[in-house]
Structure 1
């Protein structure tokens, strides 16, 4: 640990204390608020509106929108992509402190308990794309949907902790139950909509994307058995590979057969540069394999909680995009 890092950690309150939570939650609010007061036009109009909030409004409206002469378009851009990634990274210490306060066990059961809620989030995003959420659409557009899913998860964890303490359930089972009910409802709504319209229902799309992701994960598991790194076949590693490859598979199907283009900035740039419909698939396969390999190899040296969070989030980033893309293409949106 560097001297600077040690001094910073010494000056900060102990993680999980009331003072730490106040500092952790208020610091970004104070920094952003101060920046808005000092440079309102630059910070709000040229940053928040143009790259963060404007795209959300444009997505809900289904067309570009303008504020103070500044045009915002729907979708991801380099600025909001980096900002959302930074927000995810910043959220990790808070998530860890909250989970530690509930005395959770960081194991595969907890990860697979979280998975249905993540799937539900992806399905809700697809419902918004379809136009089924009406006035509530803005709640299920990035980044608003992150706060909604986080709120549901936090509440489910709290209920799960109460159930565990009363010996009537466990945290993974309660969180998994909430997520499963939500996911079934959201996916069922999408299917009902597809069956009730005259548009062709491409059921083969989710079958193909899920099948490809499962196939690659199975090949990965087989290949990992040939290498003397035990944690390559850890359930969290498998979830990470499956989540990312589901997203890669929906990109592959959409671009190759249905005329879609990758939504994320980096993957779209690679596709535009190469003109190869499988570029996202290959890129995600290589990057995911490399990251999972590194984390598996470093597991014994890393703090277990941080290893769990990092490995879980790899899969958690891919899962909802795989669900969203598969449902959208199934319904022809």
Structure 2
């Protein structure tokens, strides 16, 4: 075991023991005023759609500065160990790998917006509130990637493939059709059609390459989870609604996607004509720009309604983002996001290009994470406005 691993394990173990002893000696101080106030209370409040109280401590929906710092540290540690796992398995992280993750990435915001509509009943609802939704998606993703790696290495090994598809299919049937913990169960036939549609990429991959590759397994497994949520969202837009709505606003979805696409395409065409700007034409870099623009523009438009679209005004949960918007009337938020990504690309692919050549996998993993940090909350927010919840 490496020295840094031992240090991290020791610190984490010590922290857990400290929390446990603190809860035993003074539960009001440790649990009520710390764990409940900053972590679990906001989750319960989100599930109930109103402030939650426990032993006189009121918790509100949303993030706190303490929770954001904590989740940030956890995310960095997870990123480090995921990178080490991929390096050990000799998994190449590139644009194709990113594409295979997109259904799993979108499953997070799609299921989160279903939670916003009141689709899930307690206790199932807790699993679809951040950070729990993103923890479970990370677990699914790692399982699918490892299974895909094994199948690719063993040349179409059937048992692990059956585990991946069987597990994802059973999950979909149970959650959406038979759990009894959702407001509008999906007809099992529709779930079956979604599963059949989800495995088409892997069938095409096998037909074209005479083998089943890791990326197609991850893609199809993710689609099994994603497509039922897409069916529910499309049903809501079509009028099959299980709770109140301020009105479906597909026009807002169109504006956000159109502006984000226009900005991304503009960066591509400008960079294409400038030799020194070629890094800004790379797919992963463009994905980062697009993802962050979805988030930045949705936040700005939904809170400030700059185009006078008569949108019911929303609020910002992240304290850092809120402060940035308060000092600029909101417009600084998407602008700051855009130039920050431009700067990140410059630092990684221009300024330190030679130094980072031997760390291509880590750099690409970092870029995918930046893309996720933009597109996941952005898609959730724009879908909330679109569905009127």
Fold in common (TM above 0.5)? yes
How many residues matched?
315
Once the 2 structures are TM-superposed, how far is the Cα of residue 182 of structure 1 from its aligned partner? Answer: 2.4
Between 236-245 and 156-165, the greater mean CA deviation after superposition = 156-165
Alignment match, 1:139: 127
2: CA distance between counterparts of 1:24 and 1:224?
44
Structure 2 residue aligned with 1:223: 270
Report deviation, 1:24. 8.3
Query: Which residue matches 2:248?
Result: 201
129-138 vs 277-286, which moves further: 277-286
User: Deviation string for 1:279-327 (max 9, x for gaps)?
Assistant: 3211211222222221222233112122112111110111111210111
Deviation at 1:44, TM superposition (A): 3.0
**Cα distance in 2, alignment partners of residues 238 and 212 from structure 1:** 14
Q: Which moved more, 1:32-41 or 1:231-240?
A: 32-41
User: How is 1:68-217 mapped onto 2 (pairs within 5 angstroms)?
Assistant: 68-135=55-122, 136-165=124-153, 166-167=155-156, 168-194=211-237, 195-197=239-241, 199=245, 200-217=247-264
CA-CA distance at 1:120 after TM superposition? 1.2
What is the CA deviation profile of residues 67-113 of structure 1, one whole-angstrom value per residue up to 9, with x for unaligned ones?
Answer: 23221111112111121111111111211122223321121111121
More divergent stretch after superposition (63-72 vs 126-135): 63-72
Q: Report the Cα distance in structure 1 between the residues aligned to 2:260 and 2:111, rounded to whole angstroms.
A: 21
Quote the Cα distance in structure 1 between the aligned partners of 2:7 and 2:128. Answer: 25
Say whether residues 1:246 and 2:294 are aligned partners: yes
Give the aligned partner of residue 262 of structure 1. 316
* Residues 177-234 of structure 1, C-alpha deviations (whole Å, 9 max, x = no match): 2223322321221221332148532122222221111111111212333251443322
Corresponding residue number in structure 2 for 1:317: 373
Query: Cα distance 1:94–1:43, how it changes in 2: closer, same or farther (>3 A)?
Result: farther
Q: Match of 1:304?
A: 360
What RMSD over aligned residues (CA atoms) do the two structures have, in Å? Answer: 2.2
1:38 Cα deviation (Å)? Answer: 4.5
What residue in structure 1 maps to residue 345 of structure 2? Answer: 292
Deviates more, 1:40-49 or 1:122-131: 40-49
Question: 2:18 is matched with which residue?
Answer: 35
Match of 2:327, SS?
helix
Identify if the C-alpha distance between structure 1 residues 160 and 308 changes in structure 2 by more than 3 Å, giving closer, same or farther: same
**After the TM superposition, which segments of 4 or more aligned residues of structure 1 sit over 6 Å from their partners?**
none
- Matched with 2:285 is 237
| Structure having the higher Rg | 2
User: Who is 1:6 aligned against?
Assistant: none
Q: Structure 1 260/231 Cα, relative in aligned 2: closer, same or farther at 3 Å? A: same
TM-score, normalised with respect to structure 1: 0.87
Residue ranges of structure 1 left out of the alignment (5+ in a row):
1-8, 13-19
Per-residue CA deviation, residues 248-267 of structure 1 (Å, 9 max, x unaligned), is 12113212142123332222
User: Are 2:115 and 2:128, in contact at CA under 8 Å, matched by a contact in 1?
Assistant: yes
Q: CA deviation at 1:11?
A: 3.3
Q: What secondary structure sits across from 2:92 in the alignment? A: coil
TM-score, length basis structure 2: 0.75
Determine whether 1:331 maps to 2:372: no
Q: For residues 219 and 100 of structure 1, what CA distance do their matches in structure 2 show?
A: 35
